Structure 1
Amino acid sequence: MDSPKTKKITDEKVALAKAEHYCAYQERSQQEVRDKLYEWGLWTDAVENIISLLIGGNYLNEERFAKAYTRGKFKQKGWGRIKIKQGLKFKKVPDILIKKALLTIDADDYLRTLEAVLTKKAKTITEKDGYKRSYKLQQYALSRGFEADLILDVLKNSDL
């Protein structure tokens, strides 16, 4: 059922104005906006019409969203490419745009971030056995979305 706070919008012009504000506040994927419009109670024709108007008005741009999402998750959260890619797929961003967005990550920054993530985690691990310690660090970095081969390289070339 509808929550009492969710007020249904039937007028397309009101929905467009509200959607413009929603998109101007933060970069959004088409799917996020589509879900929000359906949540507001709009019909399929109205939703698709508003989406095309938002794209035409440059309020909605999937490539811009994908790059902003990638930049944010990498810089702020320290996520690896795998986790970022999964997040973009979940938001139904086309594969070609995901590839473009992932190319914006600088390779040197990527390695530095992986090293920083591992170093920070290593300080919290009390395990004394070298193999178990290394395994825990690998698992942690994998859960953050980094590639296994890079993780192993970093662990080999450091004294974590």
Structure 2
Amino acid sequence: MPMQTKKTYTVQEATRKLEHYCAYQERCHQEVRQKLVSMNMIPEAIDIIIVHLLEHNFLNEERFAKTFVSGKFKIKKWGIRRLTHELKKKDISKVNINQALAEIDITEYNEVFNVLAEKRANSITETNKYKKKQKLIDYLLYRGWETHLVYEKAKELFG
């Protein structure tokens, strides 16, 4: 049985590959580091490549955080709690998280929440009012909307 040899990369090859990886889609440091580890790069090479990506603006955590928040809010309709949690899991700094969240328009935020809650409430087929209310609450909390908003809306819709 022939031995499988893992592909190895020079620092230059890995750098080019990661430039494309970062240019294709915004990435956070953690994703880039994981990618380099999966390419079997040694820690010294990983540091060199990450510094290069930062210096040439392929990697920018502030930009990543803003893009992430904007996309997940607009497309997946995530609330601030879920957005914060997911960014923390990616080791994004509090400063970058707060800057990204500050870009959400509060009026749009409330509109999205109300539309999402009402649409979901209407789609729940449960006949028991209390179970229906609980399903709505669970759904909205899972999506990361603030507790006080969720409970106020559930009370408004189901009494």
TM (norm. structure 2) is 0.90
Q: Report the 3-state secondary structure (helix = DSSP H, G, I; strand = E; otherwise coil) of the residue aligned with 1:123.
A: helix
Cα RMSD between the aligned structures? Answer: 1.9
Give the structure 2 partner of residue 117 of structure 1.
116
Q: For each residue in 1:98-140, what CA deviation from the matched residue of structure 2 results, as whole angstroms up to 9, or x when unmatched?
A: 1111111111111111112212211221223333322221111
Give the structure 1 partner of residue 7 of structure 2.
7
| Structure with greater helix share of residues | 2
Give the structure 1 partner of residue 65 of structure 2.
66
Could you tell me which amino acid in structure 2 is paired with residue 7 of structure 1? K
Q: Report the 3-state secondary structure (helix = DSSP H, G, I; strand = E; otherwise coil) of the residue aligned with 2:104.
A: coil
Q: For each residue in 1:13-54, what CA deviation from the matched residue of structure 2 results, as whole angstroms up to 9, or x when unmatched?
A: 111111101000000001100110111111001101110110
The aligned length equals: 156
Give the structure 2 partner of residue 149 of structure 1.
148
- Gapped regions of structure 1 (runs ≥ 5): none
Could you tell me which amino acid in structure 2 is paired with residue 141 of structure 1? L
- Gapped regions of structure 2 (runs ≥ 5): none
Give the structure 2 partner of residue 107 of structure 1.
106
Give the structure 2 partner of residue 95 of structure 1.
94
Q: For each residue in 1:66-102, what CA deviation from the matched residue of structure 2 results, as whole angstroms up to 9, or x when unmatched?
A: 0000000000111111111111111111111111111
Query: Within 1, Cα distance between the matches of 2:7 and 2:140?
Result: 43
Q: Is the 8 A contact 2:129 2:158 kept in 1?
A: no
Query: Within 1, Cα distance between the matches of 2:7 and 2:108?
Result: 45
Query: Within 2, Cα distance between the matches of 1:7 and 1:118?
Result: 49
Give the structure 2 partner of residue 28 of structure 1.
27
Identity among equivalent positions (%) equals 41
Superposed displacement of residue 156, structure 1: 3.9
Query: Within 1, Cα distance between the matches of 2:130 and 2:104?
Result: 31
Q: Is the 8 A contact 2:133 2:158 kept in 1?
A: no
Query: Within 1, Cα distance between the matches of 2:53 and 2:32?
Result: 10
- Say which is worse superposed, 112-121 or 32-41, in terms of deviation: 112-121
